[in-house]
Amino acid sequence: MNTVRRSAAALAAAAVVFGTGAALALPAAAAPSPSDPASASASASGSSSGLYGTKDPTYDGVWRQSYAFLAQRGAGFQPADQAVDWLLGQQCADGSFSAYRADTTAPCDAKTMRDTNATALAVQGLGSVRRESADPEKVDKAIKAGDGWLRSVQNKDGGWGYTPGGPSDANSTSLVIGALAATGIKPGSYTSVEGRTPYDALLTFALPCSDKDGAGAFAYQPDKTGKLLANADATAAATLAGLGKSVVSTKASPEQSPTCQDLPKPTAERAALNGASYLAKALAKTGHLTAPPMPGATDTTEKPDIGNTADAVLALAASGATKEAQPALEWLEKNSAAWAKESGPAAYAQLILTARATETDPREFGSADLVEQLNALGPAPKSPDTSDASTSDDERGFDVWWIIGIGMVVGVGIGFLVSGRKK
């Protein structure tokens, strides 16, 4: 659902220029400066500290760690205890997470920038590894604390903003919905003080099918005039959420071509299918999504947006529109290798989860073995588990066919797979 976080420099620039820009831009003040000695040390140590990747984690440490967990569990791998401990250590006493805390020995205080996105994905990531962790009770306690904190910062309209108290946006609300659903909580049970549910908030971002430019799409937030503008990233996220799903989704059956239909009384599910219709049409134009140039760039041409294209393919598969997603999936197989290598763990995880949703082998994704490449970026995970126990209710969303069925096709013994946001 949600895209990979950009580099620290790009994120800081986007936050300064846009304020509420692309789905994963993060305020520069939300985490320690890259020049912070503790941050630099963590970056340099990389996997030796339990963290995936070696690049500066200031803006995406918790995000990429959690995404990696989801992808590895989808392959039957259990992340190393060292990696799980790293993520647990990032949690504040109130249950929240920041994008990254350089000094986890210092308690979180009023200056600590809590992050609903990081918290939601961390909750989901920990939920996927709980059963096979060294201390399941400790992990379970962290999950419940994270869920409780998310509920405590729910806005009156039923949704969530990127930071507590910020206006709700489609991406943050969708990410929380997905995390709640994945950890066994009915999102509709999270009602605000005014009795609004997350789905009530989500519907406020949906454009009607009669909209000339964005029929069926979702906006990230209303613009300054209150107008809703179609946003492909927000649409992919909301499509999953409206269906009650998360980034760990499988292909819906039966397959169905998406259509846009306005109902007298809108529902989240219908809005999600309308969103799928928008995404299918957007992908059909060029076979992939594009992104506008960065502010100040001399080259003003739009570039292929690999991360959002992957999100769109996953959302289409989860809605049953696998046929419409196929051309873009094939484009990703041919064009994502360099992007994933540059972007790091979350990018590999995102592609793996997209492959999973389309029943594509992530060990032969174009010319790349996404599983091997992700595993190499962190502490060596525990060996794959092909038993039914590895897909218990504690790890909702990870189905047996993915671990056993495709694993047998890929190879005996070691041929196992793996699968795979505004600020």
State pLDDT tens for residues 136-153. Answer: 999 999 999 999 999 999
Q: Take residue 268 and report the two structure tokens written for it.
A: 């989240």
Q: Give the pLDDT band (50/70/90) at residue 48.
A: low
d(CA 327, CA 284): 8
Answer yes or no: are the C-beta atoms of 52 and 377 closer than 8 Å.
Answer: yes
Torsion angles phi and psi, residue 105, rounded to 5: -80, -20
Q: Which of 28-32, 72-76, 163-167, 330-334 has the lowest mean pLDDT?
A: 28-32
Q: Give the pLDDT band (50/70/90) at residue 47.
A: low
In this prediction, residue 408 carries a pLDDT of 36
Q: Give the pLDDT band (50/70/90) at residue 200.
A: very high
In this prediction, residue 42 carries a pLDDT of 40
With b for 16 or more beta-carbon neighbours within 10 A and e for fewer, the 329-357 pattern comes to bebbbeebbebbeebbbbbbbbbbbbbbb
Q: Take residue 321 and report the two structure tokens written for it.
A: 């529109």
Q: Is residue 97 over pLDDT 90?
A: yes
Q: Which of 139-143, 253-257, 279-283, 377-381 has the lowest mean pLDDT?
A: 253-257
**If you average pLDDT over residues 344-369, what whole number do you get?**
96
In total, the chain counts a number of residues equal to: 423
CA dist list (Å): 186 to 92, 177, 183, 197:
24, 9, 9, 10
CA dist list (Å): 178 to 55, 85, 108, 239:
27, 23, 26, 11
Q: Give the pLDDT band (50/70/90) at residue 386.
A: low
In this prediction, residue 396 carries a pLDDT of 43
Q: Is residue 314 over pLDDT 80?
A: yes
In this prediction, residue 376 carries a pLDDT of 97
Q: Give the pLDDT band (50/70/90) at residue 300.
A: confident
Answer yes or no: are the C-beta atoms of 155 and 162 closer than 8 Å.
Answer: no
Q: Give the pLDDT band (50/70/90) at residue 296.
A: confident
